[in-house]
Structure 1
């Protein structure tokens, strides 16, 4: 596995010094060795991802990963000291990104409930659609994450839920969204985003951005008030008018 790098070192030691031509030869040898090393590391991560999703972290041993990759345990140990180290590498990017997004302030021009909710959906869906396998590993093996990452994942999840809930409640208060349990609606929309990790295929006919846009449209339609019932501004008069309209409609249906 490391024959190329060893050969490069031996080459330098044997000659004591390197001419310009031999320096280039050494660079080629080391570059090829590094490329093979990087490819093997990526293969280890891909295999571990699949096994962690299929069998779970507890159901996957270090030897299982080595066997599927086709290397010895010592060779695998050269790249990763434990399966915990592999899990940490696989989940760091997505948990860190989720934490950063959850703490990110909304732009000033996104103060309207619909624009706010749309932004949140697009942002959350895009994160998952661009890291589907990593997200599945986190979901499947969260209890086995390093403590720091597990806490970050929990904090991010709570923060995302609160952002969605607040946006929906604001829309309800302003008469732009229908009356509903804002927390249930938030869970439902977040779940719609999360589920993409289990069916989205990057090589499929629809790109991540297109799917995120469609999910955002569906999310808004699920909560928006009918156009004729939306209030232009929050006011008692506007609410009373909607109530009178409902009463008139009810009376027309109950009269003989």
Structure 2
């Protein structure tokens, strides 16, 4: 087999390793505190090889943000547009979001590095986060108005939803093996809905 053919076969695995190791480094040290040299060392490649897959550190972070946010935002928009009880729509959204986290090949912790949304050039991603927060706050406000949820500040409720999401991401970053992605997603969704509705079911 030619060297080019071997490299083409190895490329997908290397790309995934870069995303995984970069994500963990961003989570531990922040976006600014992580260098491409650190990422290359963690993956076990030279920096020129790293740049073969991603032209910059920003490109790595943008792919992590896309993996973390794009599908989540699609799910949130669908929950807002769907018919039926708000509680059922929100529970489905949370379940699907957590399932993506636990099934994903790449740990998404780094996409939630607290400093990244304040970096120049990441304004579009900050806007997506704001849209996601607004949708979730709107769903909670709709549920409260419909009598499905206990009276709660929608901003606080949205922060609680984000907290559950972060706790599941942290679990995946810690390397602890989950019992099953479906079970963990179901537990997280039920936990949130019990808090919002005040009902055990």
TM (norm. structure 2) is: 0.75
Q: Distance in 2 between matches of 1:35 and 1:152?
A: 33
Render the CA deviation track for 1:63-105: whole Å, top value 9, x for unaligned.
2333343433333333333222332333332232233334336
Unaligned runs of 5+ residues in structure 1 are 6-29, 228-256
Q: Which deviates more, 209-218 or 136-145?
A: 136-145
Render the CA deviation track for 1:168-216: whole Å, top value 9, x for unaligned.
3333333333233233223213321232100137872422222221222
Once the two structures are superposed, the pairs formed by residues 105-144 of structure 1 within 5 Å of their partners are 106=80, 108=82, 110-131=83-104, 134-140=107-113, 141-143=115-117
Q: Distance in 2 between matches of 1:83 and 1:142?
A: 11
Once the two structures are superposed, the pairs formed by residues 14-93 of structure 1 within 5 Å of their partners are 30=5, 32-93=6-67
Render the CA deviation track for 1:139-162: whole Å, top value 9, x for unaligned.
115237673xx3443333333333
Unaligned runs of 5+ residues in structure 2 are none
Q: Distance in 2 between matches of 1:67 and 1:166?
A: 44
Give the structure with higher Rg (CA).
1
Q: Does 1:4 align with 2:3?
A: yes
Tell me how many residue pairs correspond in the alignment: 198
Structure-2 change in CA distance of 1:64 and 1:181 (3 Å): closer
Alignment root-mean-square deviation, CA: 3.3
**Using CA pairs below 8 Å that are at least 6 residues apart, which structure has the higher relative contact order?**
2
TM (norm. structure 1) is: 0.62
